[in-house]
Structure 1
Amino acid sequence: MTLSLSDYRQLAAFRHQLRLFLHFSESQAREHGLEPQQHQALLALKGMPEGRRPTIGDLAERLLLRHHTTVELVNRLESAGLVRRRPGTEDRREILLHLTAKGSRKLASLSVAHQEELRIKGPELALALGGFLRQSAPPEVL
């Protein structure tokens, strides 16, 4: 498949909009005293899909991290009082991760800011994605 100049422009516009949002997100995390990866971990734990258990393994999968890297991340979150580990109720060998009240407050504050940013900038992101999809998708998908 050969890409046209228009294809490259659409990809670049979409990537630019993604990067703008990620920059906002990273800046907000730091303003709230968190590293961006810590914010992502809190959000992943709170927003874990139904049927998934908030374990180190599931968190690693959601964040696209290796297990040992996720353990270190959770250790830092636990030291900061943002998460705690608890044995599973069905299998006491299983360790489940839970946000503390402090972690929940930080995440709520960050999430409100992110929702507001998406309300403002979301249309530009959707426009960039929509332009790419219109050029790439078969007619029956649109």
Structure 2
Amino acid sequence: MSDKDSIISIEKSIRYISAHVKSHGREILKTYELSPLQFVALQWASDKEGITIGELSNRLYLAHSTTTDIVDKLENGGFIKRQKYEKDKRIVLILMQDKGRQVINEVIEKRISYISEITDHLTSDEKSMLPGILKSILHESEQNSNG
């Protein structure tokens, strides 16, 4: 297999694995009546505590008004709350609530369980190498994205 064919195969595998992992984790969202997009917004709010609606809008690649609608639904559901920034009352921060953290934890647990299932066939050496390889690829990806 040529280098180009290998890269094409890697891209397809990463894309399909990502879709399958997301799909299995998102089964839980039905219980909470959350859309996948609302969950992505919730993840950003969790990853960056105190994110503003403007920042969230940029990360979701959505209009500010659309993002505000998503935040409204998440807040009405008790997943997040808005809080005015102490130093500048015009800025509104998004803060996680326990219910939001619970959903994220349940989805991650479901994803971990699925990943465990799909990697169960690997040898112990393959299992021990995989995290380092993926972390290295992720690092390069983050370095290239920041440029």
Same fold (TM over 0.5): yes
Percent same amino acid at aligned positions? 22
Number of aligned residues: 125
Write the distance in 1 (CA, Å) between the matches of 2:11 and 2:99.
39
Query: What RMSD in Å do the two structures reach over aligned CA positions?
Result: 3.0
Matches within 5 A, 1:13-52: 13-48=13-48
State how 1:1-142 maps to structure 2 within 5 Å: 4-48=4-48, 53-121=50-118
Listed as ranges, the gaps of 5+ residues in structure 1 are: 134-142
Runs of 5+ in structure 2 lacking a partner?
123-129, 138-147
Cα distance in structure 1, aligned partners of 2:8 and 2:40? 29
TM-score computed with the length of structure 2 as normaliser: 0.66
Per the TM alignment, residue 59 of structure 1 is displaced from its structure 2 partner at its CA by 1.2
Given that 1:83 and 1:100 are in contact with CA atoms closer than 8 Å, whether structure 2 keeps it comes out as yes
Cα distance, 1:120 vs. partner? 4.4
Using the TM superposition, give the Cα deviation of residue 107 of structure 1 relative to its aligned residue in structure 2, in angstroms: 2.4
Give the drift of 1:39.
1.6
Structure 1 residues 109 and 15: CA distance shift in structure 2, 3 A: closer
Give the direction of change, closer, same or farther, for the CA distance of 1:67–1:121 in structure 2 (3 Å limit): farther
Q: Report if aligned partners of 1:32, 1:110 keep a CA contact under 8 Å in 2.
A: no
Aligned partners of 1:56, 1:40: CA distance in 2, in Å?
Answer: 14
Whether the aligned pair in 1 keeps the contact of 2:26 and 2:107 (CA below 8 Å) is no
Of the two structures, which has the highest relative contact order with CA contacts closer than 8 Å and spacing of 6 or more? 1
Aligned twin of 1:139: none
In the alignment, the residues of structure 1 paired with residue 12 and residue 105 of structure 2 have an alpha-carbon distance, to the nearest angstrom, of 32
Taking structure 1 as the reference length, the TM-score comes to: 0.68
C-alpha displacement at 1:103, in angstroms? 2.1
